[in-house]
Amino acid sequence: MDYAKVWFIFWAVLWTGYFALDGFDLGVGFAGWLAADNDEERRGVFASVGPFWDGNEVWLITAGGATFAAFPAVYAGLFSWLYPALFLLLFSLIARGVALEFRGKVQDASWRLFWERTAGVSSLAATLLFGVAFGNIFRGLELSVDGYGGTFLGLLNLYSLLTGLLFCAFFAFHGLVWLSFKTAGPSAEKAAALAAKLWPALLLLVLVFAGASWRQTGLYANFFSHKLLVALPALLLAALIGARALLGLGRRHGAFLASFCAIVFFSFTGFAGIYPALLPSRADTAFSLTLYNSASSVYTLKLMTWVALVFLPVIVWYQAWVYRLFRQPLTGEELKRSGMY
């Protein structure tokens, strides 16, 4: 068995799981404001992600840990070359978590408003930074025989900013669809209406991103070599169209699942495009960090595979149980009775 390939797949699955799951609560954090007109509605918006957001971040922690253990050279490169960007990302995620936990600790309007704004700004910043980071990975980093030659400002190129904007649109749509069935009353209807209005912009950004990727990246090479991979972007478009159709029919749970699938297929499309690299070189592919020249020893990868096969199903089962336990929409009565947020 080629354990390096196995761990590239695990690596892609873990990042994809994070984007599809934490994507909706990041979207709720910065777009949920638009669906709430008063303090009670904002309370429902933030409470809708209360039982889920920290569990969703387990996927991020696991993805980071898998990178460290399976591809240590990639982990070292990221934290050496992109340290300022990663520091800002981690700071945004910490601020988001603190804001979600602190919002309901004091029953004061100005206190709640401060933490709501903090949650919104930090969620938007984290989403944009994730998009910029993966935009640069898709585009390729300035890697050469002398190591990394790029700068922090160089990471803010047009393609990476476009990818960041696409992440924001994806997560905002995902979060608004979540609110359309997870909250009750006017905020649910406003969230559904906002998601429907956002959808054309999301579709346009996906198409613009596809065109920009053709000119700016080497993502298409694998799709020309392996025709079956074309199914991934095709399924992405089908899921996006399905999400809008189901939303229009009032089947909001189905629309959320379709939005979830769209993010999954988008992420898999990107990872399939950069394979076998984890950090492609823009200058010359010979300098890319791939699953072969950056992987740990076969023994380490083999041991990690058995650990993953045991614990990954446990994580999935636990999260499925949590989502089932808190599957009912939140009402004002429930919020008052529980004292949440």
42 — pLDDT class (breaks 50, 70, 90)? confident
CA distance readout (Å), 81 to 6, 77, 78, 163: 26, 6, 5, 20
Q: Quote the pLDDT of residue 54.
A: 86
Question: Is the link from the previous residue into 276 a cis peptide, with omega within 30 of 0?
Answer: yes
Which DSSP letter does residue 154 get? G
Residue 106: pLDDT band with limits 50, 70, 90: confident
Q: Pick from 225, 270, 322: which is nearest to 16 by CA?
A: 270
Report pTM. Answer: 0.93
Work out the percent of the chain whose per-residue pLDDT is above 70.
96
Q: Which helix (H) or strand (E) holds 147?
A: strand 147-148
Listed in sequence order, the residues at least 6 apart from 336 whose beta carbon sits closer than 8 Å to its beta carbon are none
Residue 301 has pLDDT above 80, yes or no: yes
Per-residue pLDDT reduced to its tens digit, 132-181: 999 999 999 999 887 888 888 888 999 999 999 999 999 999 999 999 99
Q: Which residue has the tokens 């919002």?
A: 103
Domain ranges of the chain: 3-338
Q: Give exposure, 243-257, as e/b (b: 16+ Cβ within 10 Å).
A: bbebbeeeebebbbb
Q: 89 CB contacts (<8 Å, ≥6 apart)?
A: 126, 129, 130, 133
Is 170 within 8 Å of 23 (Cβ atoms)? yes
